[in-house]
Amino acid sequence: MKLNIKECVRCSEPCQRSKVQRHTKAPLGTFSLSNVRFQQIHIDIVGQLPPSDCYIYLLTMIDRFSRWPEAIPIADMQTKTICRAIFQTWISRFGCPSIITTDQGSQTRSSLYREFSEMLGTNRIRTTAYHPVANGIVERFHRHLKSSIKAHENTQCSEILPIVLLGIRTAVKEDIKASCAELVNGTTLQLPSDMTETSIILPCNEVFVDRLRNTMREMNPVATSTHGKTKFYVNPSLKTCSHVFLRIDSVKPPLCQPYTGRHKVLKRTEKNFTIELKGRTSTVSIDRVKPAYLIPTCELKTPILQAEKTVSPETFQSYKHQSANQTAPDKTVTNR
């Protein structure tokens, strides 16, 4: 009986949706390294920012191989505006990328953006919702970009953006031991402080050009580094459970349950779960789910208690009935 009560309490759906014991934190995955510059880029949007020359958003892009960043001020987040900015800045300078990684924004799920990608011949990769770690390289760029903008007294973002990008592009990164400008141009950029009268302009040498070309060909990609020491935890029941509860990462009203569900599991991998969500198929990160414990469909077996020298009411009645039937004939025979 105690085991049955414990199982019923554990399988209570309202309690499972409300209680948070330990969040799932899967180990970080890795991207396949790009061997060519500007082959794979990551795109995101920053905003809403204070108005600056009618611009309130920033379209950010970064190359996975060289870490070359771009930030374009835009007035709105419409798909047409984003496609135009990508074509006029990145594609006009570096060509068409093979892979573009974005989040689950409505702009990248529209038919116009899909046709734009087909025209360029690029493959689209979309991260799972509420999982910025999957697009971490551009999210990390946002941290440096915002901190550099806030360090200036000028609140006009569009005016200080060029000098901020110049500083980020010339900064030496510890993981690759070089700046992104060196990986793109083969040499460092000349900063305003280097513009002195004593600076010497060296003529272009064919030997230097050939050596630079060979060096760029032999350059090997460097994997991105991870920051912080996070303890990972994945519930073992996630490997076999048939249903899961999904954590709500959006802003919730007071007294709102932190999980929804239960949701049926259709497919699972090391990083993602494909579940039934509101009548449709949705792919979510494993960090947002926890296993759902359900009551078995078969009836729970109730333990049978056997007491010594005790008689049940049914047994007592049948015993009394049998005794009366057996003693009556004896008395009749005796009387006879």
242 touches 268 (CB < 8 A): no
β-bridge pairing 99-102 and 40-46? parallel
Lowest mean pLDDT among 59-63, 197-201, 235-239, 260-264: 197-201
Evaluate if residue 157 carries a pLDDT over 70: yes
Q: What is the architecture of the domain spanning 13-27+234-291?
A: Roll (2.30)
Q: Which two tokens stand for residue 73?
A: 């001020």
Residue-level pLDDT at 171 = 86
Query: 């050596």: which residue's tokens?
Result: 211
27 vs 285: CA distance, rounded Å = 12
The domain ranges of the chain are: 13-27+234-291, 40-195+203-218
Distance of CA 216 to the CA centre of its chain: 34
68 touches 169 (CB < 8 A): yes
Q: What percent of the chain has pLDDT over 90?
A: 17
- 88 confidence band (pLDDT: 50, 70, 90): very high
C-alpha distance from residue 112 to each of 44, 116, 118, 264 (Å): 17, 6, 10, 32
- Most confident by average pLDDT, 69-83, 126-140, 195-209: 69-83
Q: Which two tokens stand for residue 3?
A: 């085991």
175 touches 222 (CB < 8 A): yes
Evaluate if residue 217 carries a pLDDT over 70: no
β-bridge pairing 280-285 and 123-126? unpaired
What does pLDDT average to over the chain? 78
- 57 confidence band (pLDDT: 50, 70, 90): very high
pLDDT digits (tens, 9 = 90+) for 28-37: 777 777 778 8
Cis status of the peptide bond prior to 21, with omega within 30 of 0: no
Lowest mean pLDDT among 4-13, 71-80, 112-121: 4-13
pLDDT digits (tens, 9 = 90+) for 225-282: 666 667 788 888 888 888 999 998 888 888 888 898 889 999 998 888 999 988 889 8
> What's the CATH fold of domain 40-195+203-218?
Nucleotidyltransferase; domain 5 (3.30.420)
Between residues 155 and 169, which one has the greater pLDDT?
A: 169
Residue-level pLDDT at 90 = 92
